[in-house]
Amino acid sequence: MKRQGGLNIVLLLVSLVLVGVFTAVSAAAPIYVGGMIVTTIIYAALATSWNVVGGFAGQLSLAHAGFFGLGAFTSSILYVKLDISPWIGLVIAIIAGAAVAFLIGVPTFRLRGPYYALATLALGIILYSLSVQLNSITGGHAGMSLPPTPSWANMTFLQQWPYALIAGIYLLICLGVGVWIVSSRLGYQLAAVREDEEAARALGVNATKVKLIAGTISGALAAGVGTIYAQYVLFITPDSVLGTAVAIEIIVFAVVGGSGTVFGPLLGAVLLVPVGQVILREFGGALPGLHTLVYGIVVVIVVLLFPRGIAGLIGAAQRRIRGRGVRA
């Protein structure tokens, strides 16, 4: 992990530059390119935030659509009903995400592997049902529309590039948090828990505590992405932000890119989101579902052949070159 630390800083700086580049591109390019850029960045941020608990800690959360939706609805309700600026809504959404993630984590992190995944799946569905149930606040199945009055104060814009910038900076924050965790004591302890929880405990790791920390950070970051998304599309429904489809998609991106690494999810999103969007646009009418089919096939192939994702392939290649011994 020591060499990894240096590499991560480099990658972070590269990402910083890329955010700038893509913001500029989205300003100049046609709208659908800009849209693709923004969507990719948003999903990359979401997958990166999931990765903190899913990849670093090895806890496969199926509830992250829940945090995403929680953030989206929190800031949107505050904005629409109480006229609170989305910027403040963003902060509140992050806090709400942290709080809910913490509360969810306390009972569920005691569960092992698949049962944790099931519990989070149930929680995701509960959150979905709640949002439908509380239809006086959320608008139920019909969802909520946000007022399209563009201004920086309202985090609403006519062009794509401000969204790319804001989402890009948020992505950088998520990546930065990831880099910090991975090179800190928390990162090592999370990795130990992921590899072998009982061995980790014997080595002094308070497994429940570190999982809880990771879960809380992860939920908080995911909620923030929800706010940005809501401000981007200006129309959210329980199905669009709280459905299990989103929850599964971000796992796909993270796993394909490489879930144990900081930049893996970003890699996965960059590869799969544009491909999915193009397929959706070209074939979406005639063959709906083709883009998710591609996602499904890709993730199955990745799990079969190179379970550590693309980042894992790169890492293995690096190790082979240095002659250190390849991961079994």
Partner 1 sequence: MTSVAQVLVSGLLIGGIYALLALGITLVLGVMKIVNFAQGELMMVGMYLTLVLNTAFGLHPYVALPIVALGLFLLGVLIHAGLIRWVVDRGHTQQIVMTLGVGIILQSLALMLFGGSFQTVPVPPFLGGTISIGPIQVATARLAAFILATIVTVVLLLLLNRTLVGRAVRATAMDTDAATLMGIPVRRVYLVTMGIGAALAGIAGVMLTPLYPVYPTVGVNILMLGFVVVVLGGLGSITGAFVGGLIVGVVEALSGLWLGASLSQIVVFALFLLVLLVRPQGIFRGDVA
Partner 2 sequence: MSEALVRTVEITKRFGGVAAVDSLDLEVREHEIVALLGPNGAGKSTLFNLIAGSMPPDGGRLEVFGRNVTRLPAHKMCVLGVARTFQIVRPLAGMTVLDNAMVGAFAKTASVREARARAFDALELVGLGAVTAQLASGLTLGYRKRLEVARALASQPRLLLLDEMMAGLNPAELDLFVAILKDVRDSGVTIIVVEHVIHAVMQLAERIVVLAQGRKIADGDPREVMASREVIEAYLGDGYAVS
The residue within the footprint of partner 1, chosen from 95, 271, 280, 290 (CB under 8 A), is 290
User: x-or-dash pattern for partner 2, window 242-261, by CB under 8 A?
Assistant: ------------------x-
Q: Where are the alpha helices (DSSP H) in the chain?
A: 2-28, 31-51, 64-82, 86-108, 113-133, 135-138, 161-182, 185-195, 197-202, 207-233, 238-242, 244-257, 264-283, 290-305, 309-322
| Interface with partner 2, residue 141, by CB under 8 A | no
| Interface with partner 1, residue 300, by CB under 8 A | yes
Distance between CA atoms of residues 215 and 220, nearest Å: 8
Whether 218 contacts 101, CB under 8 Å: yes
Find which of partner 2, partner 1, none residue 326 binds, CB within 5 to 8 Å per kind.
Answer: partner 2
| Interface with partner 2, residue 326, by CB under 8 A | yes
Q: How far is the CB of 207 from partner 2 (least distance, A)?
A: 7
DSSP label of 52: I
Whether 70 contacts 63, CB under 8 Å: no
Residue 201, Cα to own-chain centre: how many angstroms?
28
Q: How far is the CB of 65 from partner 1 (least distance, A)?
A: 12
> How many CA atoms within 13 Å lie on the side-chain side of 138?
25
Which stretch in 132-140, 148-156, 188-196, 297-305 sits in contact with partner 2 by CB under 8 A? 188-196
Q: How far is the CB of 310 from partner 2 (least distance, A)?
A: 16
The CA dihedral of 99, 254, 2, 213, to the nearest 10 degrees, is: 10
Find which of partner 1, partner 2, none residue 118 binds, CB within 5 to 8 Å per kind.
Answer: partner 1
Nearer Cβ to partner 2 (129/184): 184
Q: How many C-beta neighbours within 10 Å does residue 148 have?
A: 11
Which stretch in 3-11, 201-209, 222-230, 285-293 sits in contact with partner 1 by CB under 8 A? 285-293
User: x-or-dash pattern for partner 1, window 118-157, by CB under 8 A?
Assistant: xx-xxx-xx--xx-xx------------------------
The residue within the footprint of partner 2, chosen from 198, 285, 286, 321 (CB under 8 A), is 198
Find which of partner 1, partner 2, none residue 204 binds, CB within 5 to 8 Å per kind.
Answer: partner 2
CA proximity to 299, closest of 328, 259, 327, 326: 259
SS3 of residue 286 by DSSP = coil
Whether 58 contacts 181, CB under 8 Å: no
In order of 112, 136, 315, the CA distances from 303 in angstroms are 21, 43, 16
> How many CA atoms within 13 Å lie on the side-chain side of 57?
32
| Interface with partner 1, residue 303, by CB under 8 A | yes
| Interface with partner 1, residue 117, by CB under 8 A | yes
CA proximity to 66, closest of 137, 129, 5, 156: 129
CA proximity to 41, closest of 254, 269, 299: 269
- The amino acid at residue 36 is M
Find which of partner 1, partner 2, none residue 103 binds, CB within 5 to 8 Å per kind.
Answer: none
| Interface with partner 2, residue 207, by CB under 8 A | yes
| Interface with partner 2, residue 23, by CB under 8 A | no
| Interface with partner 1, residue 318, by CB under 8 A | no
| Interface with partner 2, residue 328, by CB under 8 A | yes
Which residues of this protein are in contact with partner 1, per CB under 8 A? 58, 60, 107-108, 110-115, 117-119, 121-123, 125-126, 129-130, 132-133, 244, 248, 251-252, 255, 287-290, 292-293, 295-297, 299-300, 303-304, 307
Binding region for partner 2 (CB under 8 A): 1-2, 183-185, 188-189, 191-192, 194-196, 198-207, 260, 319, 322, 324-328
